[in-house]
Amino acid sequence: MLVGAAALLLGGGGLAVVATTALAGNSQPEAGSGHQHMVNAAFTISCPDVGERLRTVPHSAQLPVSKGLSSLDRQVHDAYHKMMGGSGSNVLSGLKAQRQKTINMMVTAIAKNTKRPSYLLKMSGCTMKPITEGAGAGGNDSTKSVKDGWYQGQTQTQTGQTQDQTQGQDPNQNGSQQPSQDPNQNGGQQQGQQGQQGGPSPDDFVDITTVQPNADAPPFAAPKGGNATTGSFTTECGRNEDGHFNSDNVIVTPGVSNGAHHTHDYVGNKATDAFSDDNKLAASDTTCNNGDQSTHYWPVLRKLDGAAEQKPGAAQDANVGTTLTPATVTLKFRGSQSGQVTAMPRFLRIITGDAKAFTNGTKNANASWSCTGFEDRQLKDKYPLCPQGSQVVRTFAFQNCWDGQNIDSGNHRDHVAFSDQNGTCPNGFKAIPQLTQRITYDVPQGDSFAVDSFPEQLHKPVTDHGDFINVMPDDLMSKAVDCINNGQECT
């Protein structure tokens, strides 16, 4: 259900009310023109993201918290089915009651060994979000390019809403507040009256040739200048030819099967699943040709051809279509604009992007979509329509600053950060090699593909995200750092 980016990634996101969609297996693709986006939808259930607000999670509370986050996701999913079944205005109130119980369990588990996070108890209430709204505040943030410029031919009025519709609303401050009008008060009759398209919508795609160049600055430009460390280290780990897939998320919901509710593509460490601890990862074989045992994973990309796998993370979670194998996967570590980088600690965990960015907003979103031959044009909330012979490109540029102490944090974000464009890290953080995962695909022409997502996130491109656990042997990490700091290109 991200991260964001968001990723993304954490418990209790939103759910779209979708009556018919090819992603749900209820519509056939159009011949020769991709996917038939026939959807009867008007609203998404938007819930405060409990996982994003976690700070300290003691070891003794990690499994209860993981189970709680997964339960919050399942509760929103079940609320969707109740709405589809014609349940009336009891959906939101029933969902709130379920969330209250789950969040209280999580708070109690955390409080056994640290300060009680009572603020989480205010996050049980959910509201209805029109699916025509963008992912950002007022629906505008998600339509901006890398340089905060509007896409060519696009205006703010084309985002489907006005700035004042949602401005100033903080779901974390009024979590128990119900919307002034319940879309279910007429037995669900409002659903579908607008006939909105979604899951994904044709509006989620844009012709890359009409987008203005917008990616001439870091993180997509290599470090350069007098103080920059200009070397790189590339690790070759294949394209998941071995078919390593699961719907777990060992970083966000360790110990819980199907914690992601969508399917992940893996390269590198062969043992990665929900139950992999550091010892298991360190003992595992790897697909990388240099002995790097690191874990790299991201949501699969699917061709929208209606093919369904009845298993967790796939059709059971509204992810339908043939899984596309990447044409290429490039895993590269680069230096800093401001100076030398320091080694990553082994077992450092980083998530980038937000798998729930459609309902969370774009604060943690970090999706970047493009086409080969056009990578000076990066899309944050659109899928690219590429010219004939050009491949779709997904790029994840990870956080490049580390707090120097922790390999993880309660919300899996606070221990790492991005530098500014000059390479300067926040106070107390130090520069580390920046990982970039670049993945290319051969896709059918047209709006014929989509990323796996939490069901309620409507397969929006803004929800794309990447995950990484550093399991490099220390000597290999030292080699990578030396190459980067000495301006060499190494593998």
Task: Please spell the DSSP secondary structure of 311-329, one letter per residue.
Answer: STTTGGGT--SEEPPPSEE
At residue 369, what is the residue type? W
Q: Are 105 and 201 in contact (CB under 8 A)?
A: no
d(CA 61, CA 39): 41
- Give the per-residue pLDDT at 23: 40
d(CA 425, CA 71): 36
d(CA 400, CA 402): 7
On the 0-12 / 13-18 / 19+ scale of CB atoms within 10 A, 287 is buried
Q: Say which residue the tokens 């007429």 belong to.
A: 186
Q: Are 411 and 455 in contact (CB under 8 A)?
A: no
On the 0-12 / 13-18 / 19+ scale of CB atoms within 10 A, 59 is exposed
Q: Are 454 and 10 in contact (CB under 8 A)?
A: no
Q: Which of 69, 7, 80 is nearest to 46 (CA)?
A: 80
| Count of C-beta atoms within a 10 Å radius of residue 369 | 24
Pairing of strands 301-303, 232-235: unpaired
> Which regions in the chain score pLDDT beneath 50?
1-41, 137-198
d(CA 25, CA 316): 10
Q: What does the radius of gyration of the chain's CA atoms come to, in whole angstroms?
A: 21
**Would you state the structure tokens that stand for residue 322, as one six-digit string?**
């043939």
Q: Say which residue the tokens 């300290």 belong to.
A: 56
- Give the per-residue pLDDT at 135: 77
d(CA 301, CA 83): 28
In three-state secondary structure terms, 156 is: helix
Strands (E), 300-453: 301-303, 322-323, 328-334, 349-352, 354, 369-371, 383-385, 392-397, 401-402, 416-417, 430-431, 434-441, 449-451
Rounded to a whole number of angstroms, the distance between the first and last alpha carbons of the chain is 35
Q: Kindly report the backbone phi and psi dihedral angles of residue 273, in degrees, each rounded to the nearest multiple of 5, phi listed first.
A: -155, -170
- Give the per-residue pLDDT at 87: 67
- Give the per-residue pLDDT at 84: 65
This prediction's pTM: 0.81
Helix (H) or strand (E) holding 411: none
Please give the torsion angle defined by the CA atoms of residues 314, 320, 326 and 327, in that order, rounded to the nearest 10 degrees: 160
